[in-house]
Structure 1
């Protein structure tokens, strides 16, 4: 990915005029979101993992995440990738993955300090991972996620302490999923000299209010994926029960046209001529 694309992505993070980042789990959802006018797309680790029958946050979806990145970066949008906790505890391996994602066309990554056993990584270890990524791929936008609120393992002080340490290690933005209270959000935004990312919570947030609080980025996380699962199940049950259904969905032809437009001029690996 070019430096210009990364610069464009950084510029989308504006306090008071936040980037609304929808999170996709496959090429079809990302393509639909791009067609809806979203300039940047993130991935959802739950959606990517679950689509392949893998639990989230266990570090098992490295291959699937990298493969999806190669697909999404063919779309006319900026792509940032959720890499869970890095799919490894080794800073060198995490930095290598980040470099591969950047080479595939990703402008950013999201890396979390929460672990699958509902604990937080030590602040030193997480800072080492971030430092290794930035030392290896300085142009990559590293959104450092701290799960102090998500896992209810810390307070405002712990959140800000971790955020400051991650920024010192080279992080470009801070993500605090689970934070909901206006006062807490204002305190974090005021204390951190970097773009602050908040996870959209339907029962608590509006984009307008988060903008007023100075948030620079709003992510949907796994919400769209979970809503899609709900819609699929609800519609199938309605059809089975013989209840009236009303579906406002793209047609088969609409989806095919979008896919054909995206693959125009490309060849599959099997179709490419062999070279010596």
Structure 2
């Protein structure tokens, strides 16, 4: 099945876990996920940078290339495309080698002109027609024009420009999600919605759910708990076994010809 085919309707949406490095991607692969996304927050944070500001570009390129040999699809979070010029964005995506991308319609925490974002989408699809372009609408995420009318106007413009999917992070109200799913003619992607199960989201019409930075943030929290539990004399938390992680990396290195 193709990456696009994973977005088919079903009893549950396509769940895309987001990795921030090779070990996290290997763990998701071993858990049976057919695809992983990258998380710009996790990738940037791992390098010591805050999210946004195009800080994740080099690390995202390196991560996508490092995951190229794994038997799973890779979708890259490329923020706003790391450039204002549509042609530059299209060339970046063509050289990246990912199966899909997320590209957001905001720069520096501000929404951009939807016409400019649509131009980027068209340029990417013209240059790389097989790449699944997930157009991210940041109205709800940023709390700017965070209403159905504005969100749908942007989403539908991006679909006309060639987007294969639409991602609306921050949208959580079931009525809003249902209205978005009904009005957007391509798969609707949302973040994990607290209080709504995957089957419930599928019944609403959601076709893809991303974990976003949640696994990275959970990992940071777990690492802190491990250290504080040792310090405070508390029971040790569960952790992946060293031999399991070591074998994953050994197998990865051998498969990639890096041994």
State TM-score, norm by structure 2.
0.95
* Match of residue 252 from structure 2: 262
Judge conservation of contact 1:180–1:204 (CA < 8 Å) in 2: no
* Counterpart secondary structure, 1:127: helix
Q: Does 1:58 align with 2:53?
A: yes
Between Structure 1 and Structure 2, how many residues are aligned?
Answer: 257
TM superposition shift of 1:267? 3.5
Query: Which segments of 5 or more consecutive residues in structure 1 lack a partner in the other structure?
Result: 1-6, 272-276
Are 1:14 and 2:5 an aligned pair? no
Question: Does the aligned pair in 1 maintain the 2:189–2:210 contact within 8 Å?
Answer: yes
TM-score, normalisation: structure 1: 0.90
Matches within 5 A, 1:85-164: 85-102=80-97, 106-116=98-108, 118-154=109-145, 155-164=147-156
Q: Does residue 1:185 correspond to 2:214, yes or no?
A: no
Q: Which residue of 2 aligns with 1:170?
A: 162
Match of 2:32 in 1: 37
Task: Please give the secondary structure, in 1, of the residue aligned with 2:142.
Answer: coil
* 3-state SS of paired residue (2:139): coil
Unaligned runs of 5+ in 2: none
Task: Specify the alignment match of 1:274 in structure 2.
Answer: none
Picking from 51, 70, 73, the partner of 2:68 is 73
Query: Is residue 198–residue 215 contact of structure 1 (8 Å, CA) maintained in 2?
Result: yes
Conserved? CA contact 2:69–2:255, under 8 Å: no
Q: How far apart are residue 205 of structure 1 and its match? A: 2.4
Residue deviations 1:170-216, cap 9 Å, x none?
Answer: 11000000111111011000001100001113x33221210111111
CA distance in 2, matches of 1:125, 1:13: 26
Deviation at 1:255, TM superposition (A): 1.3
2:204 and 2:255 map into 1 onto residues whose CA distance is 45
Q: What root-mean-square deviation, in Å, do the aligned CA atoms of Structure 1 and Structure 2 show?
A: 1.4
For 2:15 and 2:76, how far apart are their aligned partners in 1?
15
Deviations, residues 107-147 of structure 1 (Å, cap 9, x unaligned): 1000001222x320101110111111111111100000001
Aligned equivalent of 1:251: 241
Q: Give, in whole Å, the separation in 2 of the partners of 1:266 and 1:30.
A: 15
> Deviations along 1:215-271, whole A, 9 cap, x unmatched?
110000001100111111111111111222232x22221112112222225444xx8
State the distance in 2 between where 1:265 and 1:111 align: 31
User: Is the contact between residue 13 and residue 199 of structure 2 (CA under 8 Å) also seen in structure 1?
Assistant: no
Residue 77 of structure 2 corresponds to 82
Q: Does 1:216 align with 2:210?
A: no
